[in-house]
Amino acid sequence: MLNISPVIVWTVALSQLLTFGLTVWNLVMSGSRANAKQISDHADLLADHGGRIASLEQSLVALPAKEDLHKLTLALSDFRGELREIRASQNAAAEMVRRQEIVISRVEQYLLENGKK
C-alpha cells in the first residue's frame, strides 16, 4: 500500500511557505503601492502648481515697471499743479463776477432812484 502522509506533510509545508511568502510580498509591496499613489498625487499637484506659476508670471509681465510708475507719478504731479492753476483762475473769475454784481446792483439802485425824480 502507498503511504501518502509524507506527500501531505510536504504539501501542507509548501502551502504554508507559499502563504508566508505571499504575506511578506504583500507587506513589502503595499508600501510601494501607497508610495506610488502618493507620488502620482504629488505629480498632479506639481503640474497644477506649474500652471498657476505660469499664469502668475504672465500677470507679472503685464504689470508696469518701476520706470513706468515713476513717469506716472511725475505726470500726476504735473496734473496736480495744473489743477491748482485752474482753481486759482476760477477763484479770480469768481471774485470778478462778485465785484461786477456789486457794481451792477449799485447802477440799478442809482437808476431806480433817479428814475423816480
Question: Considering the chain, what is the average pLDDT of its residues?
Answer: 89
Start-end of H helices in the chain: 5-62, 66-115
> What is the CA angle 26-27-30, rounded to 5?
75
User: Cα Rg for the chain, rounded, in angstroms?
Assistant: 48
Rounded CA separation 85/95 (Å) = 15
The secondary structure of 8-32 as a DSSP string is: HHHHHHHHHHHHHHHHHHHHHHHHH
d(CA 69, CA 82): 20
pLDDT of residue 5: 86
pLDDT > 90: percent of the chain: 57
pLDDT confidence tier of residue 75, bands split at 50, 70 and 90: very high
Lowest mean pLDDT among 4-18, 28-42, 72-86: 28-42
Residue 117 — pLDDT band, cuts 50, 70, 90?
low
Q: What amino acid occupies position 111?
A: L
Per-residue pLDDT at 1 exceeds 70: no
